[in-house]
Homo-oligomer: A and B are copies of this chain.
């Protein structure tokens, strides 16, 4: 941020009175522009034991596999966002279940939130951001071609929990 989104004058990084962190503050209108982590919502769509994965058509990590996930939008729930991303990236209708993972991606200022999900039918396919969408048996998951560490974490915990017949929520921090 270089300029004030309210009045177009330059901003300066400084610690406002009573605050403890540097913020972008407008040098003209004094508005403080806070910056906060963004939430990425996704899910592990499951069908008869198989897991749906998407091969990314866009950067970052084009060509690598991921779970359907993306930035949460204003006005939606986390579950709504995860279902929307499944539709956008994999043209897949899902029923969102319990939380499996919350991963703090500290350097990226993101929180990745991943739910368990049921794939509701087999009418899926690549959306504009995917090269390919496929169902994988656990032993065929392309672990060496995973796009993101948060996805790797969530998928491993999902599979461990499934084997143990439990549904836990797992936290993880990536820096």
Contacts and interface: CB of A to CB of B under 8 A. Distances in A.
A71 B3 contact: no
A36 B74 contact: yes
B99 A169 contact: yes
Interface stretch (A5-13, A131-139, A149-157): A5-13
A140 interface: no
Interface residues of A, number: 39
Contacts of A4: 3, 5
Interface in A1-53: 1-9, 11, 18, 21, 33-39
A2 B4 CA distance: 9
B2 A75 contact: no
A79 interface: yes
Contacts of A33: 5
A128 B18 contact: yes
B74 A109 contact: yes
Interface of A: 1-9, 11, 18, 21, 33-39, 71-79, 99, 102, 104, 106-107, 109, 111, 128, 169, 171, 173
24 contacts: A1-B5, A1-B6, A2-B7, A3-B3, A3-B7, A3-B8, A4-B5, A5-B11, A8-B9, A18-B128, A34-B71, A35-B74, A36-B38, A36-B73, A36-B74, A37-B73, A37-B74, A39-B39, A72-B111, A76-B106, A77-B171, A77-B173, A78-B111, A79-B171
